């Protein structure tokens, strides 16, 4: 039976629309996956030597053990937002004569074959091999390695519960927030006992039983949970919570744009995919940390200009590149209704500009790195509002990929909104700020560079009407193609 399931899964995979897209995209996806794998392998090998170099009097395993709790916590959060659970697919199996337990085992087994479970393997395996090469006890290292894998799978199954069971979700979320607050205010640190815990697991190889039992237990809980609800109105049903009509009257002050703005706000807060984008754009805020903290980049202001643009541009870029696509599910309605297209576009644009402003306010802590850096972020924000917003909107029209709003994007199978045109459009977004900053910087000085970047954005804002008109024309021209593309079966 399992064999037949696997063959069905393979058909589902190889016949799905994203797989039948261009070869170029497939190659890019494989390259991206290889990149992450290579990074993980590299980190796995490099971690030992890196730690040894930086903290010569510490044991690398202990250092890893002290921090591995953060790895698992991050893993959990990212999974919660990114990992797509294969739940709805069991519906066709409910009425044909297959044992329920077989279907459930298969379903749970399927979640195991996820990129999220393999990535840690590529880190912990090379790290363990390096340990063995340095004469660490074979038994300890092997047991530790399996412990890490079992923990990873435990997170995997826990994530399943988190997604399906509100009670579990609230309990875990409360615990995490409480731990985070306690840590933040220095009342109690979970890092130390966690480090102690993981070190104990390393030192006592038989302790591998703890994660193993944890994993089995979570698997059993999942199994029971699904078994109990293996009905149409049970585990596989989409959750319908009570919702309330939200008037959002405070948005009326935006005049003609208001009806669209209201819808956009509701769309973002009520659908999984846009929520994911919101979460991702929050992460963009920390992008600067990579660049500003490293000495090497201090001498390369072009890179800093690029990073500064990214800090405030996360939402703008990830939301904006899918602009008509967000409305793909009801695009025919918009196209046949009495809609001033310009207001529709302007609403999306306003949303992006507001997001840049909010990101900018949130980025004030970067003042810590000096006023130069903060000036750059401010100039980057202006560039984002005045130019990047229009470039992104323009790229969106050429995109034409339907988006399923209430379905999370799958990690690594998400080619939605990704095509060669998109890459081309990305070029001015990335190199624009670099060039606008770098040329005056080279010719005159740092301040002029910043001013030029800021002025370019202000100019864009001054010509807002012109740009919106141009984009509107492209939208009108592409109308039929877009409608046809959006009504294709997903």
Partner 1 sequence: MISVSNLSKDYNGVTVLKIDNLDIPTGESFGLVGNNGAGKTTFFSLLLDLIQPSSGYIKNNNIVVNESEEWKPFTSSFIDESFLIGYLTAEEYFYFIGELRGQNKADVNAFLKQYEEFFNDEILHQKKYLRDLSKGNQKKAGIIAALIGNPEVIILDEPFANLDPTTQIRLKKIIKELNEKTDTTILISSHDLIHVTEVCERIVVLDKGETVKDIQTSQATLEELEAYFNR
Contact set for partner 1, span 403-462 (CB under 8 A): 405-406
Torsion of CA 268, 270, 276, 277, to 10 degrees: -10
Q: How many CB atoms lie within 10 A of CB 185?
A: 8
Nearer to partner 1, 409 or 436 (CB): 409
Nearer to partner 1, 20 or 245 (CB): 245
Candidates 117, 128, 271, 308: give the one binding partner 1 (CB under 8 A): 271
Candidates 25, 267, 280, 357: give the one binding partner 1 (CB under 8 A): 267
**Structural tokens at position 102:** 């077989």
Cβ 248 to partner 1 shortest distance, Å: 9
Cβ 147 to partner 1 shortest distance, Å: 43
Contact set for partner 1, span 392-411 (CB under 8 A): 405-406
Tell me: does residue 477 bind partner 1 (CB under 8 A): no
Calpha distance 301→449 (Å, rounded): 10
Nearer to partner 1, 183 or 487 (CB): 487
Nearer to partner 1, 323 or 450 (CB): 323
Cβ 350 to partner 1 shortest distance, Å: 17
Cβ 267 to partner 1 shortest distance, Å: 6
Cβ 243 to partner 1 shortest distance, Å: 6
Candidates 95, 240, 250, 255: give the one binding partner 1 (CB under 8 A): 240
Site string for partner 1, 299-338 (x = CB under 8 A): ------------------------------xxxxx-xxxx
| CA atoms in the 13 A half-sphere facing the CB of 472 | 16
Candidates 11, 228, 270, 473: give the one binding partner 1 (CB under 8 A): 270
Nearest in space to 394 (alpha carbons), one of 428, 425, 424, 372: 425
Candidates 233, 242, 295, 299: give the one binding partner 1 (CB under 8 A): 242
Site string for partner 1, 331-350 (x = CB under 8 A): xxx-xxxxx-----------
- DSSP-derived letter for residue 365 is G
Calpha distance 473→460 (Å, rounded): 18
Sequence-ordered list of residues with C-beta below 8 angstroms from that of 236, at least 6 positions apart, any chain: 87, 88, 90, 91, 229, 230
Calpha distance 383→362 (Å, rounded): 17
Calpha distance 1→24 (Å, rounded): 36
Q: How many CB atoms lie within 10 A of CB 94?
A: 13
Nearer to partner 1, 368 or 480 (CB): 480
Nearer to partner 1, 14 or 249 (CB): 249
The answer to whether the beta carbons of residues 206 and 81 sit under 8 Å apart is: no
Calpha distance 315→333 (Å, rounded): 26
Cβ 330 to partner 1 shortest distance, Å: 5
Calpha distance 178→172 (Å, rounded): 10
Q: Give how far the C-alpha of residue 203 lies from the chain's centroid of Cα atoms, to the nearest Å.
A: 36
Nearer to partner 1, 240 or 296 (CB): 240
Contact set for partner 1, span 172-191 (CB under 8 A): none
Looking at 42-50, 57-65, 236-244, 417-425, which segment touches partner 1 (CB under 8 A)? 236-244
Looking at 83-91, 171-179, 195-203, 482-490, which segment touches partner 1 (CB under 8 A)? 482-490
Q: How many CB atoms lie within 10 A of CB 480?
A: 9
**Structural tokens at position 202:** 């390393």
Q: Give how far the C-alpha of residue 427 lies from the chain's centroid of Cα atoms, to the nearest Å.
A: 21
| Total site size for partner 1, rule CB under 8 A | 31
Tell me: does residue 232 bind partner 1 (CB under 8 A): no
**Structural tokens at position 190:** 């979970």
**Structural tokens at position 176:** 């995490």
Cβ 484 to partner 1 shortest distance, Å: 7
Nearest in space to 398 (alpha carbons), one of 482, 305, 284: 482
Looking at 51-59, 92-100, 201-209, 263-271, which segment touches partner 1 (CB under 8 A)? 263-271
Candidates 23, 184, 243, 368: give the one binding partner 1 (CB under 8 A): 243
Sequence-ordered list of residues with C-beta below 8 angstroms from that of 332, at least 6 positions apart, any chain: 483, 486, 487
Which residues here bind partner 1, judged by CB under 8 A?
A: 238, 240, 242-246, 258-259, 262-263, 266-267, 270-271, 329-333, 335-339, 405-406, 480, 483-484, 487
């Amino acid at each position: 039976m399992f064999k037949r399931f696997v063959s069905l899964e393979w058909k589902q995979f190889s016949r799905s629309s994203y797989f039948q897209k261009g070869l170029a995209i497939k190659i890019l996806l494989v390259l991206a996956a290889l990149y992450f794998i290579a990074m993980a392998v590299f980190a796995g090998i490099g971690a030992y030597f890196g730690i040894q170099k930086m903290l010569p009097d510490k044991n690398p395993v202990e250092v890893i053990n002290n921090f591995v709790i953060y790895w698992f916590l991050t893993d959990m959060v990212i999974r919660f937002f990114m990992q797509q659970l294969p739940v709805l697919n069991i519906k066709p199996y409910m009425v044909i004569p297959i044992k329920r337990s077989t279907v459930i085992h298969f379903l749970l087994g399927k979640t195991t074959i996820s990129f999220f479970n393999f990535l840690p393997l590529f880190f912990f395996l090379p790290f363990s091999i390096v340990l063995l090469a340095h004469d660490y006890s074979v038994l300890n290292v092997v047991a530790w390695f399996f412990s890490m894998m079992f923990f990873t799978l435990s997170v995997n199954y826990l994530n399943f519960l988190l997604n399906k069971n509100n009670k579990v979700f609230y309990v875990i979320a409360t615990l995490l927030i409480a731990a985070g607050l306690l840590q933040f205010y220095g009342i109690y640190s979970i890092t130390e006992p966690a480090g102690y815990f993981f070190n104990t697991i390393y030192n006592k190889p038989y302790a591998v039983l703890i994660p193993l039992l944890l994993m089995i237990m979570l698997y059993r809980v999942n199994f029971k949970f699904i078994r109990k609800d293996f009905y149409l109105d049970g585990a596989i049903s989409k959750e319908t919570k009570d919702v309330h009509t939200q008037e959002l009257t405070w948005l009326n002050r935006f005049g003609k744009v208001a009806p669209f703005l209201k819808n956009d706000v509701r769309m973002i807060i009520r659908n999984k995919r846009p929520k994911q984008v919101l979460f991702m754009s929050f992460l963009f805020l920390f992008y600067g940390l990579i660049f500003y903290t490293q000495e090497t980049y201090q001498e390369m202001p072009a890179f800093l200009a690029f990073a500064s643009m990214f800090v405030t541009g996360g939402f703008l870029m990830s939301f904006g590149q899918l602009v008509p696509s967000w409305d793909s599910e009801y695009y025919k309605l918009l196209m046949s209704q009495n809609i001033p297209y310009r207001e529709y576009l302007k609403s999306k644009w306003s949303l992006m500009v507001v997001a840049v402003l909010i990101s900018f306010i949130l980025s004030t802590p970067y003042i810590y790195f000096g006023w130069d850096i903060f000036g750059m972020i401010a100039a980057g924000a202006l560039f984002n509002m005045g130019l990047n917003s229009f470039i992104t909107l323009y790229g969106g029209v050429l995109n034409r990929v339907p988006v399923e709003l209430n379905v999370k994007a799958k990690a690594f199978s998400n080619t939605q909104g990704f095509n060669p045109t998109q890459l081309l459009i990305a070029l001015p977004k990335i190199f624009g700020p670099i060039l606008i900053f770098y040329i005056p910087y080279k010719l005159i000085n740092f301040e002029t560079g910043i001013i030029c970047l800021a002025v370019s954005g202000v100019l864009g804002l001054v010509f807002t009407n012109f740009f919106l008109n141009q984009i509107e024309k492209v939208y009108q021209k592409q109308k039929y193609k877009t409608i046809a593309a959006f009504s294709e079966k997903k």
